[in-house]
Amino acid sequence: MRERIRLAKGTIRQHGADYLAYALIDAIIDGFFPVLEEYGEALEELENEVVESPTHQSLEKIHRIRRELLALRRAIWPQRDAINSLIRDCHDLISDEVRVYLRDCYDHTVQVIDMVETYREVASSLMDVYVSSVGNRMNEVMKTLTIVSTIFIPLTFVAGLYGMNFNPDSSPWNMPELEWYWGYPACLLLMLGITLALVLYFKRRGWFENFSGIKD
């Protein structure tokens, strides 16, 4: 504004103090738009981060943006009421021509408030997306642990069964396969066969899908 007055840019030097007040208010309101554009870009990047790889830092960013947008809303909201008062009330210091310009400022203020409210809703929805993403990741981790546990349960049973060491000389029912020449390899092959059978079963059921989406 000082540059415009100093260099006589536009018609600011041809009007009175009411036009100068309008020009200052308009410059302040227009200064909010670049800030809101930065918040819009930050929310887009944060949305991609929350969907692809949500972390605790992502949650902190969401809270920080929500607090900053709330502070921005508190700064803009009184300006709308003040401009509306200047337009509605009759002031001898404000001409009818400037009131028309102030209506334009009022429209810009409402637009800024709408953008802030929209971004606040987006930030709130990102919180839900974060919770959903973390829940999905936890489900995938639990699925992996379940599959691993399910595979090792029968293997543990076989290993524990043959670890009881019943004497086959005392009874023909006391694990005669302990005396087999190929008993140990046969037991390993049995355990390998169980593992392959379970892996094939889980694969056909589709339990191995989306495992590539699990990241550390």
At 215, the pLDDT band (50, 70, 90 cuts) reads very low
Q: ∠ CA(107), CA(111), CA(116), 5° rounding? A: 150
- pLDDT tens digits, 14-52: 778 888 888 899 999 999 999 999 999 999 999 888 888
First to last CA, the chain: 53
Q: What domains can you pick out in the chain, each with its CATH number?
A: 2-134 (1.20.58.340), 139-213 (1.20.58.340)
Task: Give the H or E element holding residue 177.
Answer: none
- Tell me the average pLDDT across 155-159: 84
- Give dist(CA 28, CA 135) in Å, integer: 43
Instruction: Examine the pLDDT at 10 and tell me if it is beyond 80.
Output: no
**Which residue type occupies 72?**
L
- Tell me the average pLDDT across 184-205: 85
Task: Name the average pLDDT for the chain.
Answer: 84
Contact between 123 and 43 under an 8 Å Cβ cutoff? The reply is: yes
What is the distance of C-alpha 210 from the center of its chain? 19
**Which of 59, 212, 54, 52 is closest to 134 using CA atoms?**
54
DSSP-derived secondary structure for 42-68:
HHHHHHHHHHHS--HHHHHHHHHHHHH
**Which residue type occupies 140?**
E
- What are the tokens at 55? 């972390």
Query: The whole model's pTM is what?
Result: 0.63
Residue 213: per-residue pLDDT? 46
Q: Tokens 């023909």 map to which residue?
A: 172
- pLDDT tens digits, 105-125: 999 999 999 999 999 999 989
